[in-house]
Amino acid sequence: MSRHNRKFIRPVARPSDFPGMKGEVYIVYKYETNKLESDGPYNDSEIASDSMRELLSKGICAWIVSYDA
């Protein structure tokens, strides 16, 4: 595969993306049918994990990223 055909997923998040949220926040990303989507932000890691597990059980590629808000 040549370098020109590569695809990269680079989510960009800034603290201003999470107004009014303090501490660590969690975003659940999913990649389905060549499309990257996100859900959240969540303050609770367990809720984010449950959301990710639900997507994974459906066969959807999903992962959690944590940010300091």
Entry pTM: 0.69
pLDDT in tens, 4-58: 666 655 555 555 555 666 678 899 999 988 889 998 889 899 999 999 999 999 9
The domain segmentation of the chain, as residue ranges, is 21-68
DSSP 10-63: -----GGGSTT--SEEEEEEEEETTEEEEEEEES-HHHHHHHHHHHHHTT-EEE
